[in-house]
């Protein structure tokens, strides 16, 4: 963290790469937004995917327009992860995935029918320890998470109404906490009528502590891919009500370091021209979402410095500015849902 920021604050302050300290992790990058690109980059970070593998992705509300295309995921599972299971949890809010029955129906509507889907909290919860947390010493998770030996965190990187951005940290920090207890621990002060009363730095820190419980549980057997495509300022949980996409598509990033991959995605957003990143950058700053990154670093979850490897060009080392220098304005295309 920058020496000018007091711990527990600064979620609205972007820390430049030059200001960061510590070691560097490896982050892989491809501009190939396709099923082939996803497979190519997964090959770089799959080394510790062993045993019973869970794939945590956001399957979305009904007809959500921006989720990771199903054909990409289907191809990856069929060719690389034939025995893996997609894992999800029920939502805290009343929507298309509030109960297990509603969730199963939504999975059918959205076409997540080509692989088994385990709704982790369908049969109860489990408390996973949070080491060195200031808000929690344990987090309530979907019980079935303990049935898996490895976790592949496949994330649609985008904005978020409360978190500022949703990357790998949000995907597991919120997405593995169970729908009634765990998500409530993160979002709501006990005995408070407003279920969303916790926000800004405190929300980011609670989310990170929940994420840390999962990262610690899996140890080396966890890996992360962030897909920077169709990046609305809205989360996929808003479904068809999501704000229109105006941020250019970038590519796919992957790492075995959760902080490095989320930080690299944020750096790509901030490296864009003002006319390209204005909305998403504003969303991240106004929600104090950058506290996700600094708190992950404080808790020793990874490095905010990294070596960005361009796998499209003979593994050339590039910067986030290099990664986004040729992005083009986002254009809404007429596509079949889920493509």
pLDDT digits (tens, 9 = 90+) for 2-24: 556 887 899 999 999 999 999 99
pLDDT digits (tens, 9 = 90+) for 180-220: 999 999 999 998 999 999 999 999 999 999 999 999 999 99
Q: Is the pLDDT of residue 221 over 70?
A: yes
CATH number of the 27-324 domain: 3.40.50
Spatial distance between the Cα atoms of 254 and 105, rounded to a whole number of angstroms: 31
Query: What is the reported pLDDT for 245?
Result: 86
Q: What is the pTM of this model?
A: 0.95
Is the C-alpha dihedral spanning 264, 270, 272, 278 positive or negative? Answer: positive
Domain boundaries in the chain? 27-324
Quote the tokens at residue 185.
């621990």
Cβ atoms of 265 and 167 within 8 Å: the answer is: yes
Q: At what angle do helices 274-286 and 258-271 cross, to 10 degrees?
A: 130
Q: 327-330 long-range contacts, Cβ below 8 Å, gap at least 24?
A: 327/248, 327/249, 327/250, 327/272, 327/276, 328/248, 329/248, 329/276, 330/245, 330/246, 330/247, 330/248, 330/249
End-to-end CA distance of the chain: 40
pLDDT digits (tens, 9 = 90+) for 127-141: 999 999 999 999 999
């Amino acid at each position: 963290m920058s020496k000018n920021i007091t711990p527990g604050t600064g979620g609205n302050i972007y820390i430049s790469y030059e200001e960061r300290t510590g070691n560097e992790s490896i982050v892989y990058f491809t501009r190939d937004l396709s099923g082939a690109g996803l497979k190519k980059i997964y090959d770089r970070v799959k080394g510790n995917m062993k045993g019973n593998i869970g794939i945590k992705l956001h399957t979305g509300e009904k007809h959500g327009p921006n989720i990771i295309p199903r054909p990409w995921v289907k191809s990856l599972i069929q060719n690389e992860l034939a025995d893996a299971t997609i894992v999800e949890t029920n939502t805290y809010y009343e929507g298309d995935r509030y109960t297990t029955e509603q969730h199963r129906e939504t999975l059918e509507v959205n076409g997540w029918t080509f692989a088994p889907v385990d709704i982790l909290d369908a049969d109860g919860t489990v408390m996973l320890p949070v080491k060195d947390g200031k808000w929690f010493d344990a987090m309530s998770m979907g019980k079935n998470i303990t049935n898996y030996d490895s976790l592949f965190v496949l994330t649609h990187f985008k904005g978020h109404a409360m978190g500022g951005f949703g990357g790998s940290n949000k995907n597991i920090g919120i997405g593995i906490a169970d729908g009634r207890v765990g998500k409530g621990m993160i979002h709501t002060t006990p005995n408070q009528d407003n279920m969303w009363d916790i926000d800004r730095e405190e929300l980011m820190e609670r989310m990170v502590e929940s994420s840390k419980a999962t990262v610690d549980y899996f140890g080396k057997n966890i890996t992360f891919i962030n897909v920077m495509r169709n990046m609305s300022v809205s989360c996929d949980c808003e479904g068809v009500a999501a704000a229109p996409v105006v941020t250019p598509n970038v590519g796919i990033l992957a790492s075995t370091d959760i902080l490095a991959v989320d930080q690299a995605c944020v750096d790509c957003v901030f490296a864009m021209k003002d006319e390209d990143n204005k909305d998403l950058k504003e969303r991240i700053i106004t929600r104090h979402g950058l506290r996700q990154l600094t708190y992950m670093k404080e808790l020793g979850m990874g490095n905010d410095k990294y070596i960005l490897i361009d796998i499209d060009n003979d593994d050339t080392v590039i910067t986030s500015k290099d990664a986004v220098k040729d992005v083009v304005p986002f254009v809404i295309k007429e596509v079949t849902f889920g493509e």
